[in-house]
Structure 1
Amino acid sequence: MKRLNILLSISILAALLLSACGAAATPTAAPITLTDGLNRSITLAAPAQRIVSLAPSNTEILYAIGAGSQVVGRDDFSDYPTEASKLPSVGGNMGTYSLETIASLKPDLVLAAEINTPELVKSMQDLGLTVYYLSNPKDLDGMYANLKTVAQLAGRESEADALVSSLQKRVQAVKDAITPDAARVTVFYELDGTTDPTKPWTAGKDTFLSQLISMAGGSNIGDNLAGSYAQMSLEELLVQDPSILLLGDAAYGATPEQVAARTGWDALQAVKDNRIYTFDDDLVSRPGPRLVDGLETLAKLLHPELFK
């Protein structure tokens, strides 16, 4: 019996030693090192758990990949989803941010974007903050890549993979509906027509908006202008005579009724056919996952017969 007890004790001790060795051998999370949009090498010891977002698109990406609970601060314009607007704001209106407020939130990551200047990034870096500068994507593939980049920084890679797969399926559904032989609907997208109705602002060919209009089965008449964003004279607008008017400035007071009442605009085909629609510009101006919402909305407005 005494020998049995000794053997049992040795076995238990050996098991404890193996367990301890196994625990000690458990690998820790590897550092995350990525190159940001300013070509800087950024390293995190582990996925960020306290994130300050300095752009609405960044905020929307973080919530979409399931990292909303890790966001501790946001810029003035981050209002989607609703819960994001309840977070402390660090500024952004008129391009002014409170470095003191940002630092007080003790972030392990500040996620900047192209609306933020390199000078602002340097100021935060000089305070010892880790800042990742996320460049704007040029197309939907670039947007998917941004989702995965942010997911790496936040430790949400599996969630991002699922999101990207879902978004790609939705985009493919639009592509399947808008066949190559579908008639192209001419579109004028108004960014600002209330300041000067004789020279409304619109988006040109080198913009995400123009890409989305094309993918939705439309032809953006702003593609004829020089520059990504430009004014189109009323005379040129009448010559182009778009079939549909989309009011991206609806949030600033533009309404179909006001547009129809503008001097000279009643000659436009879109006005005659009552095809003037308000549009949530956030869906196409914020380079995040809601771009796909924007694509679907555009497709249904331009080709309602295909989405009954």
Structure 2
Amino acid sequence: MKKPYFSYIFCFLTFASLLSSCQSNQADHSGKTYPIVAVDASGDTIRLTKPAQRVVSLVPAALDALYMLHADSAIVGIPNRIYTDPNVYPYFSKIDVRIKEKLIPTPTITESGLSMETIIKLNPDLVIIPSNNTDAIQMLKELGIAVFGISTQNFGELNLEVLNLGILLGKEARAKELIAFSQDKIQDLKELNKDITNKKTIYYAWSGGRIYSTTGRKGLINDCFEMAGLENACPYEIDAPNISPETLISWNPDIMLLWNTPESVLYDKKELSSLDALKEKRVFNLSPPFLYDPHTLKIVLASIAIHHYSYPTAAANNLSVEQLEILSALYGPEKAKLILQ
């Protein structure tokens, strides 16, 4: 049976306690002391002699976390996608003038390929990279560069990554503040969900019009559903299954959730015209994507938005009020106002 999302919080608290217990100074065989110790998604231990001051983040979600941690000044390299993706550039350009003027280097040849020469020239003391990019990770380690691998599969792992990044950047207190705020907001949602007697079912379609690619009962989107008090219409215990139109019709979800896809794409699917959600116009587009990125702590805002749409009479606050409150807590009031402009 799938563990509910709040079990991840217990795992996070347990891990955080264990991590704190091993934060005493550690030394290598040369006698060099590494007082800063963290663990990445692959279970690799990262040791630094001092907080990272020059960071190359090649993961957009991790870059987002650096701004939430108030570690802007440490950022020296970013993914090329930050400049090229119209869904993210307008927002990052508001919170960092260097991005607006495209001054921060992008050590990428393609969206997935890296320029090791550029990374070396940036002289980073920490590189944040997808954990499945094993060849690049090994090469960076051989060059003596600390690497933090990212692979966020659920809300608990997201909390751990924020905590460990906070430790590496000397922002542990800020990381714990962010996590505590996020968990408090999820607890508020949990209280609202107590009054829901019949959970609605929801179906998620991946971005770019991939209507028949969905999320199973594992992963961050499914965690959003659980936090929002809904049941995933897809019963499969895998992350991202592909299904047929006939399967979707048999599920007949109460709500259809789209991500970065025009609603017309769904309504134009004549084979799906019998779905109650389409006939009754219960199609929700989680937009703009930047505000609701579930790979960041904005997963809280995504969950609240889904809850507000699905159970409008149970919604405690206006969504725009929630947006300002949550973004202010995550980024700071000034950046939150810029983001929402």
Interval containing the TM-score (normalised by the shorter chain): 0.7 to 0.9
1:295 to 280, 292, 303: 303
Kindly provide the CA deviation profile for residues 164-215 of structure 1, in whole angstroms up to 9, marking residues without a partner as x. Answer: 22112211111111116432111110115746x6xx1101112221121122
**Within 2, Cα distance between the matches of 1:142 and 1:89?**
27
Question: 2:203 touches 2:232 (CA, 8 Å); kept in 1?
Answer: yes
Tell me if the contact between 2:55 and 2:124 (Cα under 8 Å) persists in the aligned partners.
yes
- CA deviations on 1:20-55 (whole Å, 9 max, x unpaired) are xxxxxxxxx962133433343322110011101111
Moved more, 37-46 or 236-245: 37-46
Match of 2:214 among 202, 220, 230: 202
TM-score of the two chains, using structure 2 as the length reference: 0.72
Per-residue deviation, residues 250-293 of structure 1 (Å, max 9, x unmatched): 2xxx3223321221222111111111121245666653211112
CA contact (8 A) 1:60 1:289 kept: no
Q: Any stretches of 5+ residues in structure 1 without a counterpart?
A: 1-28
Letter in 2 for 1:205: R
Change over 3 Å in CA distance of 1:90–1:220 after alignment to 2: same
1:184–1:218 CA contact under 8 A, matched in 2: yes
Is the Cα–Cα contact under 8 Å of residues 209 and 285 in structure 1 kept in the other structure? Answer: no
Alignment match, 2:37? 33
Give 1:122-161 correspondences, 5 Å limit: 122-138=138-154, 140-161=155-176
Q: Is the 8 A contact 1:284 1:294 kept in 2?
A: yes
Cα distance 1:182–1:167, how it changes in 2: closer, same or farther (>3 A)? same
Find 1:241's aligned residue among 252, 263, 266. Answer: 252
Residues 306, 219 of structure 1: alpha-carbon distance in 2 compared, 3 angstrom cutoff: same
Query: 1:72 and 2:76 equivalent?
Result: yes
Residue type of the partner of 2:278? V
Q: Which residue of 1 aligns with 2:278?
A: 271
- Contact 2:39-2:164 at 8 Å conserved across structures: no
Q: 1:283 to 1:240 in 2, by over 3 A?
A: farther
Distance 1:227 1:35, change over 3 A: closer
Aligned-CA RMSD value: 2.4
Counterpart residue number, 1:108: 125
* Residue of structure 1 aligned with 2:233, choices 201, 221, 230: 221
Mean Cα deviation higher: 272-281 or 62-71: 272-281
Distance across 2 between alignment mates of 1:283 and 1:183: 28
Give ranges in structure 2 of 5+ residues lacking alignment. Answer: 1-32, 83-87, 318-341
Shift of 1:113: 3.0
Q: Which amino acid aligns with 2:233?
A: I
**Mean Cα deviation higher: 161-170 or 76-85:** 76-85
Q: Kindly provide the amino acid, as one letter, of the partner of residue 282 in structure 2.
A: R
Is this contact kept in 1: 2:56–2:77, CA < 8 A?
A: yes
- Contact 1:182 1:217 (C-alpha < 8 Å) held by counterparts: no
CA-CA distance at 1:143 after TM superposition: 2.0
Mark the CA change 1:213 to 1:286 in structure 2 (over 3 Å): closer, same or farther: closer
CA contact (8 A) 2:209 2:265 kept: no
Whichever residue aligns with residue 229 of structure 2, its letter is: G
Letter in 2 for 1:259: L
TM-fit CA distance, 1:219: 1.3
Question: CA separation in 2, counterparts of 1:42 and 1:306?
Answer: 45
Contact 2:39–2:46, Cα closer than 8 Å, also in 1: yes
Matched, 1:170 2:185: yes
**Using CA pairs below 8 Å that are at least 6 residues apart, which structure has the higher relative contact order?**
2
Count of matched residue pairs: 270
Give the TM-score of the pair, scaled to structure 1. Answer: 0.79
Residues 291/192 of structure 1: CA separation in 2 closer, same or farther (3 Å cut): closer
Aligned equivalents of 1:150, 1:37: Cα separation in 2: 11
1:117, distance to aligned residue in structure 2 (A): 1.0
